[in-house]
Structure 1
Amino acid sequence: MLLANELSPMAGETFACNLLGEDLTHAAKSSQVSGQLKTKWLSSKFGRHELAKRLQENPQDYPPLGTQFGDLDEDGTDLKGALVVGNVRQLNAWLNEPSNRKALEEIRHGFGSGNIDLVSGGPPCQSFSMAGSRQYTHSRNDLPWEFAKFVQLTRPKFALLENVTGILRPFQVDGSEVFAWVEVAKAFARIGIEGGDDAGDARGGYVPLCLHVNAKFAGVAQNRTRFIMLSFRRDVFDILLGKMIGRDRELLLSSVEFFEKARAGKPIRRDDLPLYDAAKTRNLLDGTFLAGLSTPARPPTTMDAIDDLREHGLAQSEYVQGINTLLGPQALPPKTVTLGTEVANHVLRKHGLAVQARFRVYQVLSKFGKKSPIAAAVYKLLRGSAHELDEESWKQLSSSSYFIPAQGSFHQFKNKIFFEEFLTGLQTKKSSQQALLPDEPAPAAVSIPDDVCHYHMSLGGLRTLTVREMARIQSFPDNYVFRSKATTGGEKRKYEVPQYTQVGNAVPPILGHALGQIVQGLLKQYHQSLGQTEDSSFLHAA
C-alpha cells in the first residue's frame, strides 16, 4: 500500500490497527504523538498531542485547509505507506496547491517505485442506496467525481470504483432519467480533457468496464450485490487490447464506442455503455480475465461462517479456515492489542424478553420464507394491522415451539386464540427484521445490527449478531480487530462509524482479493507486452 485515505477517524483507527500496526488508543494515552505515526490528519481542530480528541472528532466539522492543525508535509516524504484521515475533497485541494507539488510528484511516482498501478475506492453511497435518501443532488453524490479527480491527479494504470447496486437505478431529474453510474463512467472517460497538460499519462482518459457482481459468487457467505467499475488508463488499455483475444478482447472493445462519444462530448444514452450483470447471470464471466468473480463452488452459507461461534468446541468450517489462512497474514494488529484465546469483537448482545420472543417468531417464519402468505399473516399481527390468523397459517405455525417471556422457556401453543394474543403482545414498528437462514448465504450486511437475528433455536440464539459474526459473514479473518465503540445511536449516527457500521460498509475482503487478483493478472499481461506492442491508438487496434 502506497497511501490510503479515510474520512472517519473511527474507521481510520481500525485501519491503522490492522494494516499499519498502530494502536491509536494506546498512542493517545502515551507520550507518542500523531506526528510520529503513519496515521496523519489532513485538517483537524486538535493538535498532534490531542490524539484522543481527534479519534472522536466529527468528520463533518473538519476545519478548512490551513486554518487549524494538519500533519502533512509539503515534500510528501512522510506520506509513503500512510493513512490520511480527512475529506477527499480537501485532499484533492491540498494536492493541487502549488506549494505541495513535490508531494504530488512523490505520489505519482509511487515514492520512487515507478508509476502507480491501482487506485481503488468506495465513495460513500448512502444517497445511491435503495435504503437511503435517493437524492441525486445530495452533496455525497459528488464523491465519485472527487474520486475521478484524485485519479487524474495520481495517474494510476487502473482505477477501481465500488458502489451499491442502487447506483444502477435511474434518478428522476427534471422529468428525465439520469443514470449516475453512466455519468461517473463518463467522468473517468473524460479525465485529462480539462487541465489535461498536467494529466501526463492520464491525459488520454480512462476506459471503463462496468460490472454488477454478487459477492457470494466470489466466495463470500453473503448475498451482497455491488456495482464495480474497473477503468483502464488509455495507454494501458491500448497495450492490453493488443494482447488479448477471444472474449477478453470483446469485453474491452465493448466500451470503445462509449469512450469515443464521451471524449468527443457527444450525447450519451444509457445503452451506449454495457453493464455486465454477473449478479444475475452466474456464468457470464467464466473463461475471461474476470472469472474470479464467478467461482464454480457453491456459495458458503451463514452456518459455514458463524456456527462454530455458538459454543466452545464446535469445529471451524472450511470457509472460516480459508479466510483465516488467506487473509489473516494481511492483518497485523500491534502487540498492544491482545487477541488472547477468545475471538475478538464477539460480545453477545442483550435483549429484553419480549424482543427475544419476537426473534423466535422470526426463526419459525424463516422456514416458510419472508414473503410467504404465512409470514405476511403473522407480520400483520406484529404490526397491529390484524388480530386474527387464518386457519391454514395457524395449522402450519402450531407445530413449532415459541419463547414465552413470562416462563423464560419454549412452549408449543395448542390454542389459536392464545397464540394470537401472544403475537399481538409482541407488536413492533420494525418491518425489516428477519432470522438468518443457516443453509443459505446471509443477506447483505448493513450498518445497524437490528435487522437480523441468529438462526439457532436456543436461549443463546435469540439475539442479533455480534460484530465478529457479521465480520465472519463479510469474510474478515478472526485476527482483524475492529476498534472504537461497537454501535451508536441518535444524532451521532449521522457521522459516527462504530464497529457494526465499519463491517456493514466494508467491501468483503474475499471480493476485494478477487478483484486484486484480476488487476494483478492484467498488470502481468501489461508488463509482458510492453516491449512487444507498438504504442498505437486502441481505436486503430479495434
Structure 2
Amino acid sequence: MRFIDVFAGCGGLSLGLLKAGCQGVAAIEKNPMAFETLRHNLIDGQRYSFDWPARLPKEAMSCEQLLIDHRRELLALAGTIDLMVGGPPCQGFSLAGRRNPADPRNKMAEQYLELVKIIRPKFIVIENVSGFNSKFNETVQADSDDDRYIKQSYAEYISGELKSIGYFVSRGKLNCANFGVPQNRHRYFIICSRVDSKVNLFERLLNYGEQFKVLKNLSPNKYVSVHDAIADLEVTGKDLKENTDSPIKGFKEIEYQLPDILPPYLRLMRDGHETAPNSLRLPNHKIDTILQFIKIRQASEPGKSLSKESRDKLGIKKHAITVLAKNQPSPTITTLPDDIIHYCEPRILTARETARIQSFPDWFEFTGKYTTGGLSRKLDCPRYTQIGNAVPPLLSEAIGLMLREQMLAEEEILEALEI
C-alpha cells in the first residue's frame, strides 16, 4: 500500500503506516525543523525509507508550493498511490483556542483537496481536532467567502467536496486511548474510499481497537497508563549526566537504565532499541517554580485540569494545567510543555516522556531545538511542538492495518465486477 503524507509534521502518521507494512512515497511538510526529523527517521532512516520520486526535491515545502512548482511530478504519481493521509493545520477549529472561520490555515485543507483531485488515491484519511466538526459561532465576523464554514462545519464542507468527486465518505470522532495510546486524545477522522464496499470505514476502525491491542500484546479491557509509559524515565534513584543532544549547555538528563522486566507497553516503545533514547533533557526549573508545582499538586485532583478558583488563588494565568494521574492515561499532549506536570516529581515532562505518551518508539530521534519563544514561536517547530502536533503512531498503525485489509477486500469486489 503506497502512501503520501501531506502536512506530515515530524512523521507520526507515516511511522504508523510504515510499521503496518505500507510503503511511503512522499511526505509534504513546510517546516524545516519538522521535516528534518521526518527525513532523518523515515525518509532516509535506518529502519525505514521512502520510495521518493527522483524529480521531487527531498526538502521542506508547503502544499501550495508543491502544487505550483511540482505539478508535473504530481501528475506522474496519478494512479500509483493507494492512500493519501494528512492532518491540515487545525488552529482555526480548535475548541481550546479562538475559533476563527477566517483563519488562513483553515484553507490548507482545500489545497489537500486539490491534491486529491490530481492524484486520485484509492483511500483518503484526514485527521483533525474534535472542533473540526463543530460549526463556527455565527456571531464571529468573517469575510463573505467564509460563510460556508459558519453555516456548516468544515468537516461537513470537506466531506461534501470529496463525495462530489466520487469518494465514499465515513467520519467521526475517536479516542486514541482505545488503540493503546496512554492518552485521552480525541480526534476527528474522515476516511474515504473510491469503491462502494458497503462498509463504513470509520466504524470499522472504531471496532478494530480491541483486536489491535491484542495484536500488540496490550490488555483489550483497560487503558495504558502514564506510569506504564514513562515509569522507567523517572529521575528518582537515577544518576544524572550532562545532556548532549541540545545546542544549549547546562542541562542534565538521566543515566538511562533499562528495567529487568519490560511491561507490554514499554516493550513496544523500546522496539528492540538497545541504547538510551534521545530527547531526555530535564528542565532547569527555578526553586520558585518547583514550589509552585508542589502547591499545584496539593490543590488539584490528579488527571483533571486545575480549577479556575485554584488558578486564581495561586496566581496562575494559564487556562489549563494538569497534574498527571499515575494510573490513568494522560490528557491530550499539546505543544506547550508546561500544560502538564509529572505525577510524582515537581517538574514538566521531558520531550521523550511526551513522545512516549504519544507512542513514538525510543529509536525515533527528534532533531532541532527543544523549545522556542517570542516571535520565533510562529516560525519554529521545536521538539515539543513536533511531538504535540503528531498523530500517535500506534493509532496510525491500526489505521494502516485496517486499510490494507480493506484494500484486499475491495480488489476482490472489483475483480468480481469485471467477471
Give deviations 1:258-292, integer Å, cap 9, x for gaps. xxxxxxxxxxxxxxxxxx7xxxxxxxx4xx46422
The 5-angstrom pairing of residues 89-168 of structure 1 reads 89-96=64-71, 100=72, 103-109=73-79, 115-168=80-133
Give deviations 1:226-274, integer Å, cap 9, x for gaps. 01000112xx22xx23xxxxxx4xx37xxxxxxxxxxxxxxxxxxxxxx
Q: Distance in 2 between matches of 1:378 and 1:131?
A: 20
Partner of residue 324, structure 2: 436
Is 2:37 the partner of 1:8?
no
Which among 191, 207, 224 is matched to residue 291 of structure 1? 207
Partner of residue 382, structure 1: 314
Q: Give, as a single letter, the amino acid of the residue that structure 2 aligns with 1:356.
A: I
SS of structure 2 residue aligned to 1:77: coil
Q: CA deviation at 1:362?
A: 2.5
Contact preservation (8 Å) 2:29, 2:62: yes
Is 2:292 the partner of 1:358?
yes
Q: CA deviation at 1:107?
A: 1.2
SS of structure 2 residue aligned to 1:223: coil
Contact preservation (8 Å) 2:174, 2:206: no
Residues 137 and 289 (structure 1 numbering): CA distance in 2 closer, same or farther, change over 3 Å?
Answer: closer
- TM-score with structure 1 length normalisation? 0.61
Contact preservation (8 Å) 2:169, 2:190: yes
Partner of residue 373, structure 2: 489
RMSD: 2.7
SS of structure 2 residue aligned to 1:189: helix
Residues 221 and 83 (structure 1 numbering): CA distance in 2 closer, same or farther, change over 3 Å?
Answer: farther
Q: Give, as a single letter, the amino acid of the residue that structure 1 aligns with 2:74.
A: L
Q: Distance in 1 between matches of 2:82 and 2:224?
A: 32
Q: Give, as a single letter, the amino acid of the residue that structure 2 aligns with 1:130.
A: L
Count of matched residue pairs: 355
Structure 2, unmatched stretches of 5+, are 1-23, 141-149, 214-219, 239-256
Which one is further off, 13-22 or 211-220? Answer: 13-22
SS of structure 1 residue aligned to 2:90: coil
- TM-score with structure 2 length normalisation? 0.78
Contact preservation (8 Å) 2:87, 2:128: yes
Q: CA deviation at 1:95?
A: 4.1
Q: Give, as a single letter, the amino acid of the residue that structure 2 aligns with 1:137.
A: A
Partner of residue 17, structure 2: none
Q: CA deviation at 1:189?
A: 1.6
Give deviations 1:11-55, integer Å, cap 9, x for gaps. 0000011002369xxxxxxxxxxxxx9899xxxxxxxxxxxxxxx
Contact preservation (8 Å) 1:224, 1:444: yes
Q: Distance in 1 between matches of 2:180 and 2:407?
A: 23
Q: CA deviation at 1:7?
A: 1.0
The 5-angstrom pairing of residues 363-512 of structure 1 reads 363-367=297-301, 370=304, 378-383=310-315, 428-456=316-344, 461-512=345-396
Residues 88 and 484 (structure 1 numbering): CA distance in 2 closer, same or farther, change over 3 Å?
Answer: same
SS of structure 1 residue aligned to 2:137: strand
Q: CA deviation at 1:369?
A: 6.5
Give deviations 1:298-326, integer Å, cap 9, x for gaps. 1101101101111446454311212433x
Which among 279, 282, 285 is matched to residue 348 of structure 1? 282
Which one is further off, 522-531 or 509-518? Answer: 522-531
Q: Give, as a single letter, the amino acid of the residue that structure 2 aligns with 1:308.
A: D
Q: Distance in 1 between matches of 2:293 and 2:139?
A: 44
Partner of residue 14, structure 2: none
Which one is further off, 503-512 or 138-147? Answer: 138-147
SS of structure 1 residue aligned to 2:169: strand
Q: Distance in 1 between matches of 2:288 and 2:114?
A: 51
Q: CA deviation at 1:92?
A: 1.6
Residues 20 and 450 (structure 1 numbering): CA distance in 2 closer, same or farther, change over 3 Å?
Answer: same
Partner of residue 416, structure 1: none
Contact preservation (8 Å) 1:208, 1:230: yes
Is 2:107 the partner of 1:223?
no
Give deviations 1:333-365, integer Å, cap 9, x for gaps. xxxxxxx83321011111111110111122233
Q: Give, as a single letter, the amino acid of the residue that structure 1 aligns with 2:328.
A: E
SS of structure 2 residue aligned to 1:533: helix
Contact preservation (8 Å) 2:226, 2:329: yes
Contact preservation (8 Å) 1:167, 1:227: yes
Q: Give, as a single letter, the amino acid of the residue that structure 2 aligns with 1:125.
A: C
SS of structure 1 residue aligned to 2:76: helix
Partner of residue 513, structure 1: 397
Contact preservation (8 Å) 2:228, 2:266: yes
